[in-house]
Amino acid sequence: MKFVKVQNDERTAFKKNWNFCVGTGRIGLALQKEYLDHLKLVQEKIGFQYIRGHGLLSDDVGIYREVEINGEVKPFYNFTYIDRIIDSYLDLGIRPFIELGFMPSALASGDQTIFYWKGNVTPPKDYNQWRDLIVAVVSHFVERYGIKEVQKWPFEVWNEPNLVNFWKNADKQEYFKLYKVTATAVKSVHPSIQVGGPAICGGSDEWIVDFLNFCAEENVPVDFVSRHAYTSKAPHKKTFEYYYQELEDPEDMLQQFKTVRELINQSPFPHLPFHITEYNTSYSPINPVHDTVLNAAYIARILSEGGEYVDSFSYWTFSDVFEEMDVPKAQFHGGFGLVALHLIPKPTFHVFAFFNALGDELLYRDREMIVTRRKDGSIALVLWNLVMRKGNGFAKEIEIEIPLSFADVFIKRQTIDEENGNPWVVWKQMGRPRFPSQRAIETLRQVAQPKVTTKRMKVEDGVVRLPVVLTKNEVTLIEVEPVNDETYTYVGIDDSQITSYS
């Protein structure tokens, strides 16, 4: 059994960078009702500040078209859908973290696309027209939402240009050219608007160095650096519906955060903010790990410490309303979402909600737990028991000693593990219905809630000792509040006078 003694006087801040941003499927999906219902739930229980996704400039959002009038081809900018989308975001209390991409068909230099929804990933056929498009879009945002609002929105140039399937030939010089034209265009609308890149995925971090050197040498504006982080290896098995992959340890992901931060520190722009604009265990939208409690325990570790190294890290994604690999084919299909189809929260959703209950003051942290104090003096802890090996067992016992000035405390514990808050397992018992009936959906929603247990404890000698047992991959939130016992005001109260009570 592990024993942890929390010190009262370690008062460092727990940074909330973990809730700065969250990912979304192509933003055209934000027109959908179910998408917005999921986002509403996420905002109520977690409350992210920003949302980021692909496809702003792709054909389905409809912004860029060309029209031939009197023999002359002219651009036509259509903001019907994007206005509706951003209005919806702001109504739900979340701001866009703008990703400028992909290429409108009419502006594209080639026909290479990515995803079921066919995002064009080729450079513009004409950089002047691209620049005009960027200026038109950013100017429209400023006109509709005001510069005070828009200067709070980061603008990131493209997505993962270091991959051949996201950027033709993964051509670095071409990306730098795109970046320069785009960043300059954004700044031409208003110099206070933030722009950054290079939005790469892991594996080519020399891009970070080269990118910052390029900006320095060419005097190109850059307000932040962005990069992605996943820890899954190449799939070792693929079926029509699922990819299976092994995962690196979560420490590997934190190391990625640190490594790139160090590269920036050494660059000509050592003080630039660094945003992880996507992260998750697996980068595949059909890996069943995303539906499991293993994923939840894994992410708990990242949330607990990631903010020490990066200014934000954006979980990819908030919802299974997502279409990269075609319309989802089953209730649970290994999607990235915190929320499964039919508004069913997954285990990882609750990990974010648990972290949302933590305080601003960090009292203790190790690789398996974090202890905080909230403004009202109450204590909130999250513990997790990540086990990446097969088999049963692996329960972990911990005793935590917390110094408290209260007399009695009320302890509330919320848990997700294999048996609680785990709709994926119940769905398997049901026979994995692809398109569940209304009754099945209701059951899945019921079982998707954490188990809640409560008790009252005495503080003795100025401390309370909490014994905690964690099952394999359990994540638990414990809240410790003072009891203000009012029982004495019910003069003469005596529960033993009730039939069958003693």
Site pattern 442..481 for a second copy (x: CB under 8 A): -x--xx-x--x-xxx---------------xx--------
The whole-angstrom separation of Cα 497 and Cα 502 is 8
Work out which of 387, 464, 466, 480 binds a second copy, going by CB under 8 A: 387
Nearer to a second copy among residue 364 and residue 410 (C-beta): 410
Count interface residues toward a second copy (CB under 8 A). Answer: 87
Residues 6 or more apart whose Cβ sits within 8 Å of residue 87: none
Residue with smaller CB distance to a second copy, 341 or 370: 341
Does residue 432 belong to the site contacting a second copy (CB under 8 A)? Answer: yes
C-beta of 234 vs 493, nearer to a second copy? 493
Told to check if 341 binds a second copy by CB under 8 A, we report: yes
Distance CA 223, CA 236 (A): 39
Q: Tokens for 35, please give them.
A: 């998408």
Q: How far is the CB of 347 from a second copy (least distance, A)?
A: 13
| Binding of residue 395 to a second copy (CB under 8 A) | no
Burial class of residue 493 (count of CB atoms within 10 Å of its CB; 0-12, 13-18, 19+): exposed
* Residues 6 or more apart whose Cβ sits within 8 Å of residue 473: 292, 293, 294, 296, 297, 384, 385, 386, 387, 417, 418
CB of 269 to a second copy, least distance (A): 37
For residues 134 to 173, the per-residue mask of contacts with a second copy, x marking binding by CB under 8 A and - elsewhere, is ------x---x-----------------------------
CA-based max dimension of the chain: 94
Q: What is the CA radius of gyration of the chain?
A: 25
According to CB under 8 A, which one of 327, 393, 405, 467 is a site residue for a second copy?
Answer: 327
> For residue 117, what are the β-bridge partners?
none
487: contact with a second copy by CB under 8 A: yes
User: Which of 85, 181, 92 minimizes the C-alpha distance to 140?
Assistant: 85
Map the footprint of a second copy across residues 11-30, applying CB under 8 A: none
Candidate list 147, 163, 426, 463; residue touching a second copy; CB under 8 A: 426
For residues 471 and 396, give the distance between their C-alpha atoms in angstroms, rounded to a whole number: 6
Q: Which of residues 56-95 bind a second copy (CB under 8 A)?
A: 62, 65, 67, 69, 76, 78-81, 83-84, 87-88
Task: Report the residue from 127, 269, 364, 410 that binds a second copy according to the rule CB under 8 A.
Answer: 410
Q: Catalytic site residues?
A: 160
420-448 b/e with 16+ CB inside 10 Å = b?
bbbbbbebeeeeeeeebeeebbebbeebb
Binders of a second copy among residues 239 to 268 (CB under 8 A) are 239-242, 244, 246-247
Render 209-244 in DSSP notation, one character per residue: HHHHHHHHHHT----EEEEEEE-B-S-SEE-SS-EE
Residue of the chain from 308, 433, 463, 465 that contacts a second copy (CB under 8 A): 433
Given the rule CB under 8 A, which of 2-10, 160-168, 266-274, 434-442 is the region that contacts a second copy? 434-442
* Distance (Å, whole) CA 100 – CA 158: 5
What's the closest the beta carbon of residue 155 comes to a second copy, in angstroms?
Answer: 20
Q: How many C-beta neighbours within 10 Å does residue 161 have?
A: 30
